[in-house]
Amino acid sequence: MKIALAGIGKIAVDQHVPALAASPDWELAATVSRRGTVEGIEAFTDMAAMLEARPDIRVVSLAMPPVPRFAYAEAAIRAGRHVMLEKPPGATLSECHALTAMAREAGVSLYATWHSREAAMVAPARLWLADRVIRRAHITWREDVRKWHPGQDWVFEPGGMGVFDPGINALSILTAILPAPVHLTEATLEFPENRQTPIAAQLAFTGNVTADFDWRQEGPQTWTIQVETDDSTLVLSDGGATLMIDGAEGPRDEDTLAGEYPRLYRNMAHLVAEGGIDMDLAPFAHVADAFMLGARKTVAPFEF
Ligand code: NAP
C-alpha cells in the first residue's frame, strides 16, 4: 500500500522512514512537512495539497508533535484516508474521541500507536503476568531530555506533556502487561520555574503501583518496570527489550519480526486490511489524570 508520512523530524527520520523502507507492506509515496523531506520521495508542504494531488495514497502516518497533529488527522480522515498516529495520539482526550468518531463515520482505519508496547519482551511479560496476583509494581523511567529531544522546546510548551512524553511509553507498557486496570490516586509534578510542563513526576496508582519519571538523568538511562507477584519478581528493563524473572532470563519473544516501528507498521497494515479502529487511550487517561490530580512543585529552571 502507498503511504504518506507527515512531520519529517527526529522520529520520522530515526524510525518511520527505515521501518517503511524495510516493510513488505508499504511504499512511502509522499511526505508532508513544512521543511523536512526524504530523499527521492515526492514532498508536499501542505496536507490539503497532498490529499488533493495524490488520491492513490490511501494511508497517512502522522509523526509531528501532538498539538498540531489533530488538524492533520482531521483533514486526512475527512478526505477518506486511513490514519496512523504517533504517540501520544493527541493533545487532549476529547480530540482523540473526536477523531475516533470521525473515522467511524468516514469508514476508515485509525491507529493510536504505542511503540513501546511493541518492544520485544512486552508480550512475554503480559503472558507471564496474566494469571498471577500482583503485589506491587514500580516504574523507573529516567532519561536525558537533552539527548532524546535536543532543542525541542515544544515538549515544554502547553500540550507538549513534558516528562510524560517518555513517561507515557512506560504507561503504555504498564497498561498492556497488568492483568487488571489500575487508576491514579496521587501525583507530584515538578515544573521548572521557566517551563509550562513537568520535567519530573512521581505517581501512585491503585494496586500498589508507583512510578518515578525524570528527564534530568545524564549517563546511563533507566527504563525499567518491576512487578512483584505472589510467587516471583518480574523485571522488564531497557524499555521492554529485556525480561528477567527472579534474576534469570524470562521466556522468549515468539514474534519473528524485530523492531518496535516495523511491528507498528505491520499492525497498521492488518488494521487497514480488516477495516478496524485501534484507539486505546488508557495510557493517555493516566497522564490526563496526573495533570488533574497532581500537586505542583516548582524546581530549578531548565535550558537545553
Ligand atoms: P520533532 O522532530 O520536533 O518534530 C517532528 C516534525 O514535526 C518537525 O520536524 C516538523 O517538521 C513537524 N512539526 C513540528 N511542529 C509542527 C507544527 N506546529 N505544525 C506542523 N508540523 C510541525 O519531534 P519528534 O521527536 O520527531 O517527535 C514527534 C512525535 O514523535 C512526538 O509525539 C513524540 O512523542 C514522538 N516520538 C518521539 C521520539 C523521540 O525520540 N524524539 C520517540 C518516539 C516517539 P516541519 O518543520 O518540516 O513541518
Task: Look up the pTM and report it.
Answer: 0.97
Q: How far apart are CA 23 and CA 2, in angstroms?
A: 12
At 294, phi and psi to the nearest 5? Answer: -70, 140
Query: What band does 169 get if pLDDT is binned at 50, 70 and 90?
Result: very high
pLDDT mean across residues, the chain:
97
pLDDT at 130: 97
pLDDT at 159: 97
Whether 145 is in a domain gets the answer yes
Among 90, 66, 292, 290, which Cα is nearest to 157's? 66
290 in Cβ contact with 204 (< 8 Å):
no
> 4 pLDDT exceeds 90?
yes
The reply to whether 260 falls in a domain is no
Pocket test for ligand 1, best of 15, 41, 64 (most atoms within 8 A of CB): 64
Report the pLDDT value the prediction gives residue 61, as an integer from 0 to 100.
99
Q: Do 217 and 147 share a domain, yes or no?
A: yes
With b meaning 16 or more CB within 10 Å and e meaning fewer, what string describes 45-77? eebeebbeebeebbbbbbbbbbbbbbebbbbbb
Domain that holds residue 49: 2-112
Q: Are residues 33 and 170 in the same domain?
A: no
In-domain check, residue 270: no
- In angstroms, the CA 141 to CA 170 distance is 7
Residue-by-residue DSSP string for 237-248: EGGGTEEEETTE
Cα 14 to ligand 1 centre (Å): 11
- Dihedral angle computed from the Cα positions of residues 88, 163, 198 and 151, in that order, rounded to the nearest 10 degrees: -90
pLDDT of residue 106: 98
Check pLDDT > 90 for residue 251: no
User: Does position 256 have pLDDT exceeding 90, yes or no?
Assistant: no
User: Is residue 96 located within the same domain as residue 159?
Assistant: no
What residue's CA is closest to ligand 1, atom 32?
65
Q: How confident is the model at residue 252 (pLDDT cuts 50, 70, 90)?
A: confident
The percent of residues above 90 in pLDDT, for the chain, comes to 98
1 pLDDT more than 90: yes
- Which atom of ligand 1 lies at the shortest distance from residue 149's CA? 41
Residue 55 pLDDT: 98
Residue 253 lies in a domain: no
**161 and 291 housed in the same domain:** yes
Dump pLDDT digits (tens) for 191-226.
999 999 999 999 999 999 999 999 999 999 999 999
164 and 291 together in one domain? yes
Residues 44 and 161 both lie in one domain? no
Q: How far is CA 198 from the centre of its chain?
A: 18
45 and 164 housed in the same domain = no
The total domain count for the chain is: 2
Q: Yes or no: say if 168 and 287 are a contact pair by the CB < 8 Å rule.
A: yes
pLDDT at 255: 87
User: 200 near 290, Cβ under 8 Å?
Assistant: no
Residues contacting 36, CB < 8 A, separation 6+: 7, 8, 9, 12, 13
Whether 126 is covered by a domain: the verdict is: yes
Cell of 259: 523492531
In the listed set 77, 112, 147, which residue is the last one of a domain according to the structure? 112
C-alpha of 6 from chain center: 16
Q: Which of 90, 112, 134 is the last residue of a domain?
A: 112
Asked if residues 117 and 165 have their Cβ atoms less than 8 Å apart, the reply is: no
Q: Are residues 121 and 226 in the same domain?
A: yes
Residue with cell 513537568: 198
User: In terms of domains, do 295 and 155 share one?
Assistant: yes
Same domain, 156 and 91: no
Nearest residue by C-alpha to atom 37 in ligand 1: 11
Ligand 1 centroid – CA 150 distance (Å): 11
pLDDT digits (tens, 9 = 90+) for 45-87: 999 999 999 999 999 999 999 999 999 999 999 999 999 999 9
CATH label of the domain that carries residue 172: 3.30.360.10
Which residues form the pocket of ligand 1, taking CB atoms under 6 Å from any ligand atom?
Answer: 7-12, 33-36, 63-66, 68, 86-87, 115, 148-149, 152, 165
Of 112, 144, 177, which residue is a domain's last? 112
Q: Looking at residue 69, which CATH number applies to its domain?
A: 3.40.50.720
Residue ID of nearest Cα to ligand 1 atom 9: 9
24 and 62 in a single domain? The answer is: yes
